[in-house]
Structure 1
Amino acid sequence: MTDPDRIVVRLASPALFVGASADGTGADTDVVTDEHGLPYLPRHRLAARLRTGALSALRVAPDLAEAVDRVFGRSRSHGADRILRTGHAVPGDEVRAAVAHALAGRAEPIRSTLRRAVTDAHTTLESGIEVGPHGAPEPGRLRTNRVLLPGLVLIAPLTWAVPPEEEHWRCLARACLATDQIGRKASRGRGRVDVHLALPDDPDPRATTLALAAPPARAGEDPRP
């Protein structure tokens, strides 16, 4: 069986991936975009959320504790001791190619206008009263947040520093299944996601991930479902 080579992140609710956009959108809280105006999830944020998911999954599979340290690093999600390597989670190849083609050869200010249109197509503005450090609203302090629209699918390339073993795949698959929110203001229902491992041209990443997450068959037990 071919091993998965990517992590697929699908937004199930509006999400805040806070950062700097290509041209700035005028919001108090902007969204991180690439040089073409397309939003993406930085690899260190994805790795951090996956490690958190892996740690939460240890409650039902404490035997994977050593695998978690091996896959994600012992102390920091981007530590040099981890064997997992992920890239930024970005829109699919077809989307990125189409946007790059549309921007190719464009001079300013048309290029900036088109980049802003790309960002606007994937995001929306939300306004609300700023919340203080204790969770109470701050009267008279209206803020705008640029959020990603649900339905956006982002793909992160997946590589390993050394060939992974079965328990490493099981650890990563369970981390994906346990990762259900990414981004800021998750406590307010923002950033709900579905995260799965996927093969090239995978017709069912969920099935692929569930198969890898399954516990090993016991001695004498038929591993087939």
Structure 2
Amino acid sequence: MSPPDRIVVHLASPALFVGASADGTGADTDVVTDEHGLPYLPRHRLAARLRAGAAGALAVAPELAAACDEVFGRGRSHGADRMLRVGHAVLDDDVRSAVVRALAGRGEPVRTTLRRAVTDAYTALESGTGVGPDGAPEPGRLRTNRVLLPGLTLSSALTWATAPGEEHWRLLARACLATTRIGLRTTRGRGRVDVRLAAADGDDPHATTLLLAAPVNKEPDREGLRV
């Protein structure tokens, strides 16, 4: 198995990746998109969720605390002590290339119309009553939210400052498995995700992540080999 080179995020339910879209969509809560209208998950949000997942994983594997500090930095650090950098989680290269080609050379207002159509293809508008600070609905506050459609898979490139060891991969794999929700209003059934490590060799990301997350068996097998 070749080392994973990216993290894949599969949306199992509608997700609110709130931000500014390329042209604005008229929703009260918009979705973050790039300059071509394609939605993405910003890297700092993904990194924050992975860090939270890693912290949860330490409850059953405290021996990985040092690896957690090395992979994600100490105390929410963004400095040189952090081994891992993740990229924006984006749609696959074929989709992005096709959209870039479709927009190339287009003038206004056609370019804006096409960008909005791209955003519409991956998102939907949902309407609901606004929620107050206590979590209760507030009558008379109808709001619209633009959400990413379930079924999308986004990919984030991994960059390591130094070569990761076995414990670093185990920590990251467990952080991925522990990250099950991303985005706003996750308590309202939004943002359920499967986060996995993937390699260029095409191996199943789920199997790859489970393999890397498995604890090391230091007991010798029947032939005297350590497994």
TM-score range, shorter chain: over 0.9
Report the number of matched residues. 224
CA contact (8 A) 1:48 1:78 kept: no
Superposed, which structure 2 residues align to 1:126-205 within 5 Å? 126-205=126-205
**C-alpha RMSD of matched pairs (Å):** 1.2
Which amino acid letter does the alignment assign opposite residue 142 of structure 1? L
Which whole-Å CA distance do the structure 2 matches of 1:147 and 1:172 have between them?
Answer: 27
Give the equivalent residue in structure 2 for 1:43. Answer: 43
Which whole-Å CA distance do the structure 1 matches of 2:24 and 2:137 have between them?
Answer: 26
Which amino acid letter does the alignment assign opposite residue 71 of structure 1? V
Unaligned runs of 5+ in 1: none
Give the equivalent residue in structure 2 for 1:33. Answer: 33
User: Structure 1 residues 223, 100: closer, same or farther in 2, change over 3 A?
Assistant: farther
Superposed, which structure 2 residues align to 1:51-62 within 5 Å? 51-62=51-62
Secondary structure of the structure 1 residue equivalent to 2:142: strand
Which whole-Å CA distance do the structure 2 matches of 1:145 and 1:78 have between them?
Answer: 31
CA contact (8 A) 2:219 2:226 kept: no
Which whole-Å CA distance do the structure 2 matches of 1:50 and 1:31 have between them?
Answer: 21
CA contact (8 A) 1:47 1:77 kept: no
Per-residue Cα deviation, 1:80-116 (whole angstroms, up to 9, x for no partner): 4210011100000001011111111111100000000
Unaligned runs of 5+ in 2: none
Which whole-Å CA distance do the structure 2 matches of 1:70 and 1:130 have between them?
Answer: 41
CA contact (8 A) 1:15 1:150 kept: yes
Per-residue Cα deviation, 1:157-206 (whole angstroms, up to 9, x for no partner): 00101111110000000000110000000111100000000001423011
Asked if 1:117 corresponds to 2:126, the answer is no
Secondary structure of the structure 2 residue equivalent to 1:140: strand
CA contact (8 A) 1:33 1:39 kept: yes
Give the equivalent residue in structure 1 for 2:9. Answer: 9
User: Structure 1 residues 201, 117: closer, same or farther in 2, change over 3 A?
Assistant: farther
Which amino acid letter does the alignment assign opposite residue 91 of structure 2? P
Secondary structure of the structure 2 residue equivalent to 1:2: coil
CA contact (8 A) 1:73 1:79 kept: yes
Which whole-Å CA distance do the structure 1 matches of 2:203 and 2:149 have between them?
Answer: 24
Which whole-Å CA distance do the structure 1 matches of 2:50 and 2:183 have between them?
Answer: 12
Which whole-Å CA distance do the structure 2 matches of 1:77 and 1:28 have between them?
Answer: 33
In the TM superposition, residue 21 of structure 1 has moved relative to its aligned partner by 0.2
Normalising by structure 2, report the TM-score.
0.95
